[in-house]
Structure 1
Amino acid sequence: MTACKNGQNSKKTTPENLEIYKGTASVTQGPATVLTENIFECDRGREAPIGISTATDGSEWTVPAEVNFTDDSFPFASDLFNPCTKVEYASADEALAALDGTDIIEVDSDGEVVTAYVFADNYFEMYINGVAVGKDNVPFTQFNSNIVRFKVKIPFTIAMKLVDWEENSGLGSEANRGQAFHPGDGGMVAVFKDAKGEIIATTDANWKAQTYYTAPLRDLSCASEEGTLRLSETCSTEDSNDGTSYYALHWKKPTNWQSADFDDSEWPKATEFTNNTIGVDNKPAYTNFIDVFDNSAADAQFIWSTNVVLDNEVLVRYTVE
């Protein structure tokens, strides 16, 4: 269903407000114009809108991100645990046994099959050497986890788009805890195994992570940049019942960020977050697979940019040697 819904700002952006922001992002204020009310229906799931925010410099930004969820040419990942489809496996072995091989995406014809296990809050798109190999089955909630299988030669480069979705389009927030504007958190964890079942990569601080959409910000002065770091750690993350005048920051993504030869050397390192910080103890999409994600010999870490609450679109990369 599509609809136009123009946001009404309770406070106007002024030159004085903009002057206090010294970063490289485009600045928007207030709600986005909603283009699609909900791109996915799920029982007891939140609506996942797509909107357009217009910045003070005239640029337009798709929020929370430009995604390929409705693009049939971009393959869906396989379900590991998905309350929306009612495909809920009790173990990774059970989920693998249900696959018939048609899910495997060929990157290299003479490569080996690599299996990735992914839990993303909320949404991911994965590329291997620039080839689209799998996208999340659920853009927002309920919380789910996925398997992605692809055939590739080592070394190979993983590139992922990560999105923390929003109910309040353009304002990086949702209704929660009795408040209309709650800035929810993100987080992604993944484990990659070779054809022998050996772990060849896990998410950790050795990955690179860059931020491209930060919201909501009550005050532009709290945001700063240090080199390529886009920082918001001093910004408020408190809930509110009136966030319609809050700001958002948007950065343009490189056109070839998915490719193996993209130079990410200047990107910041990913930040690690604990299971407790992300809050997965009550989510069977994660807890059913502790033996995979929290393997005693190779414990995968939740990663994101520096701010797991306010940064809503993050690109991450890692090369498996």
Structure 2
Amino acid sequence: MDHQLMTVGTSLARSDERMLTGRNAAGRVWKTGFGALDPMIGGGMRAGSLVLLAGPQGLGKSTFALQVARNNAATGRPVLYFSYEHDAEDITQKLIAMEAGELDDSDQVRVTSIRSIFDDLWVSSLEHRLESVPCGVEALAKVAHYSEMLFVHRSTGTRTDLAAIGAAIQQVREASGGTPLVVVDYLQKVKSTQVDDVARSTEVVEGLKDLAIDIGAPVLAIAAAEKEALRSGKRMRASDLRGSSALAYEADVVLVLNNKYDIVARHHLTYDLTNAERFRDFAVVTIEKNRFGRDGAVLQYRTRFDQGRFEHEGTEVKEQLIDERIFRD
């Protein structure tokens, strides 16, 4: 029978088989690893779903996506990260900084110090070099533990199209024995046969959604914003995604990052000066669309970009947020 054609009876039999073997929930949900977020989106990213992650430039979209990738690889599940802007060594450096930052109680770990160790000219093993970084050796061991489950594809806008993405997924399936969580960083960079932005984004987002369904795993794709949405003091929304309205339509979950300081109501800044500057250290994640639960939920996570990570425990935002600030700092 054609793999695209299935009776409901066959679907029922497959569901029953998963439940009887205990593979039902674990096999169909990939957790993000971010507290408060997973319960909101149905326990995590679901098989066959397309999750879009958007936000202004410099607010840590790639960091958030890489952290999700690492969280899954660390559980022994394969992950395939399509990186259009960073090579594998750069990603490796961020992972070591992320792990060391979580392990180090002295709060001395910095991404810059990890990078300098990789760039230094003195001859020595990586483990020996990392002895100078708090928890550096332990961090290296943690990365090594899941390193063979996290695949990085150095992607380019001139070569890596939907067909190349599909081919790489098949390679990872053969190498790991499992279907990977797919991360695309980022969607507007995927090579397309179309010329204008609207047609390009439509082709790519529809292709990624079809791909997620075909492979039976989630696709997490970073999406760029229109220029107007990037100015300081404006809250980015799903409607600000660059390109076609198909982006929000095709996606099952849309997450939008914003800096809390930029979108918190003025009275929190004016009358609570102690906490005003602290708002800058928090990213707000709005669940703009959610086919697996309620949308509109707004969560906050402390940013540690000096360590290449977000703190994974989040809480719902209690302060009043606004779409645009009309006053100057």
Larger Rg: 2
Q: Same fold (TM over 0.5)?
A: no
After TM superposition, the score normalised by the length of structure 1 is 0.25
Higher share in helix: 2
